[in-house]
Amino acid sequence: MHRRTLLAALPIALVAPRLALAVTEVPYVPGLIDQRLDAGETLFVDFFAPWCGTCQVQRRVINALTEANPAYEQNLTFVEVDWDTYGRSELGMVLKIPRRSTLVAIGPDRREIGRIVAGTAEAEIKALLDAALAVATGTA
């Protein structure tokens, strides 16, 4: 392969495949948040972009935590909001989402349980999942 061809193909090769959550996630569409909250669900909302490195790290941490504790997936609804499509939408404005890689937990009473902006620490993400789980199971 010629060096010029290799260099032209390199950016494509460096694009990492999208890391999906191991948990069942619901892709956001307008109206979904209200619908799920009206149904009494506790939401874990992930403002995600497939090209975002911080988002990818958050995904790995969430995957590890949900594998270790199935109660998260059993009691929480994980919603993925595509930042490129909905980051600056009405939902983003109402929730005051500053950037991609923002995780927000919302209780069925429509109150924000907590949020993480660009944080990747396992302890921080676990604390948010635990707070959401406590609301979902009525132990908060």
Q: Show the tokens assigned to 62.
A: 């969430």
Dist CA 56 CA 97 (whole Å): 18
Q: Where are the domains of the chain?
A: 17-137
pLDDT at 10: 43
Mapped onto helix, strand or coil, the DSSP state of residue 92 is helix
Cβ atoms of residues 59 and 20 within 8 Å: yes
Supply the CATH classification number for the domain 17-137.
Answer: 3.40.30.10
Element (H, E) at 7: helix 3-14
To the question of pTM greater than 0.95 for the whole model, the response is: no
CA 36 from centre of chain: 16
Q: What is the mean pLDDT of each run of 10 residues along the chain (140 residues)?
A: 47 48 84 97 97 96 96 97 94 96 98 98 98 95
pLDDT at 7: 45
Task: List, in sequence order, every residue forming a beta bridge with 75; answer none if it has no partner.
Answer: none
Q: Tokens 């600056």 identify what position?
A: 88
